[in-house]
Amino acid sequence: MLERVARALTQSPIEEQEVLMKDGRPFWQLYLPDAVEALKALREPTPEMVDAFHRGFLQELHKPEKKRTSTAEAAGMRAMIDAALKEQA
Protein backbone atom coordinates (compact mmCIF):
# COMPACT_ATOMS: atom_id res chain seq x y z
CA MET A 1 0.00 0.00 0.00
CA LEU A 2 2.87 2.39 0.73
CA GLU A 3 4.12 1.98 -2.82
CA ARG A 4 0.64 2.63 -4.26
CA VAL A 5 0.27 5.83 -2.25
CA ALA A 6 3.80 6.99 -3.07
CA ARG A 7 3.23 6.41 -6.78
CA ALA A 8 -0.06 8.32 -6.63
CA LEU A 9 1.68 11.22 -4.90
CA THR A 10 4.20 11.57 -7.72
CA GLN A 11 1.40 12.50 -10.13
CA SER A 12 3.76 11.29 -12.86
CA PRO A 13 3.19 8.83 -15.69
CA ILE A 14 4.21 5.30 -14.70
CA GLU A 15 7.26 5.32 -16.98
CA GLU A 16 8.64 8.41 -15.21
CA GLN A 17 8.08 6.78 -11.82
CA GLU A 18 10.51 4.01 -12.79
CA VAL A 19 13.37 6.39 -13.69
CA LEU A 20 16.29 5.67 -11.41
CA MET A 21 17.80 8.37 -9.25
CA LYS A 22 21.54 8.75 -8.74
CA ASP A 23 21.43 6.38 -5.77
CA GLY A 24 19.75 3.68 -7.89
CA ARG A 25 16.29 3.92 -6.35
CA PRO A 26 13.21 4.51 -8.52
CA PHE A 27 11.85 8.07 -8.52
CA TRP A 28 8.59 7.14 -6.78
CA GLN A 29 10.52 6.20 -3.63
CA LEU A 30 11.13 9.90 -2.96
CA TYR A 31 7.47 10.01 -1.97
CA LEU A 32 7.59 7.19 0.59
CA PRO A 33 7.83 9.54 3.62
CA ASP A 34 4.72 11.40 2.42
CA ALA A 35 2.95 8.09 1.83
CA VAL A 36 3.75 7.02 5.39
CA GLU A 37 2.28 10.26 6.75
CA ALA A 38 -0.84 9.89 4.62
CA LEU A 39 -1.46 6.39 5.94
CA LYS A 40 -0.75 7.46 9.51
CA ALA A 41 -3.46 10.10 9.15
CA LEU A 42 -5.95 7.37 8.26
CA ARG A 43 -5.22 5.56 11.53
CA GLU A 44 -7.53 7.96 13.36
CA PRO A 45 -10.74 7.99 11.34
CA THR A 46 -13.33 10.71 11.71
CA PRO A 47 -16.76 9.78 13.08
CA GLU A 48 -18.12 10.05 9.53
CA MET A 49 -15.52 7.56 8.32
CA VAL A 50 -16.39 5.09 11.09
CA ASP A 51 -20.10 5.37 10.28
CA ALA A 52 -19.39 4.86 6.59
CA PHE A 53 -17.28 1.79 7.35
CA HIS A 54 -20.09 0.22 9.34
CA ARG A 55 -22.68 1.01 6.65
CA GLY A 56 -20.49 -0.37 3.86
CA PHE A 57 -19.57 -3.44 5.89
CA LEU A 58 -23.15 -4.26 6.81
CA GLN A 59 -24.51 -3.60 3.32
CA GLU A 60 -22.03 -6.04 1.79
CA LEU A 61 -22.48 -8.57 4.59
CA HIS A 62 -26.24 -8.67 4.14
CA LYS A 63 -26.10 -9.24 0.38
CA PRO A 64 -26.74 -12.77 -0.80
CA GLU A 65 -23.35 -14.44 -1.11
CA LYS A 66 -23.65 -14.73 -4.90
CA LYS A 67 -24.12 -10.95 -5.22
CA ARG A 68 -21.17 -9.90 -3.06
CA THR A 69 -18.51 -8.03 -4.97
CA SER A 70 -15.89 -8.19 -2.21
CA THR A 71 -15.45 -8.99 1.43
CA ALA A 72 -17.53 -6.99 3.85
CA GLU A 73 -14.32 -5.61 5.37
CA ALA A 74 -13.08 -4.37 1.99
CA ALA A 75 -16.46 -2.79 1.28
CA GLY A 76 -16.31 -1.06 4.66
CA MET A 77 -12.80 0.23 4.01
CA ARG A 78 -13.80 1.60 0.60
CA ALA A 79 -16.81 3.32 2.14
CA MET A 80 -14.61 4.80 4.86
CA ILE A 81 -12.09 6.19 2.36
CA ASP A 82 -14.94 7.52 0.19
CA ALA A 83 -16.28 9.37 3.24
CA ALA A 84 -12.85 10.92 3.80
CA LEU A 85 -12.62 11.97 0.15
CA LYS A 86 -16.02 13.67 0.39
CA GLU A 87 -14.47 16.10 2.87
CA GLN A 88 -12.63 17.81 0.00
CA ALA A 89 -15.89 18.74 -1.73
pTM above 0.85, yes or no: no
CA distances from 39 to 4, 5, 18, 61, 69 (A): 11, 8, 22, 26, 25
State in Å, rounded, how far the first CA of the chain is from the last one.
Answer: 25
Q: Which domain holds residue 20?
A: 2-42
Of 85, 82, 41, 42, whose CA–CA distance to 59 is shortest?
Answer: 82
- Indicate whether 35 and 52 sit together in one domain: no
- Indicate whether 7 and 37 sit together in one domain: yes
Amino acid in position 39: L
| Residue 78 CB coordination number (10 Å) | 16
- Indicate whether 63 and 35 sit together in one domain: no
The pLDDT of residue 56 is: 92
- Indicate whether 7 and 32 sit together in one domain: yes
pLDDT band at residue 76, thresholds of 50, 70 and 90?
A: very high
Number of domains in the chain: 2
The pLDDT of residue 69 is: 78
- Indicate whether 36 and 51 sit together in one domain: no
The pLDDT of residue 13 is: 87
- Indicate whether 23 and 54 sit together in one domain: no
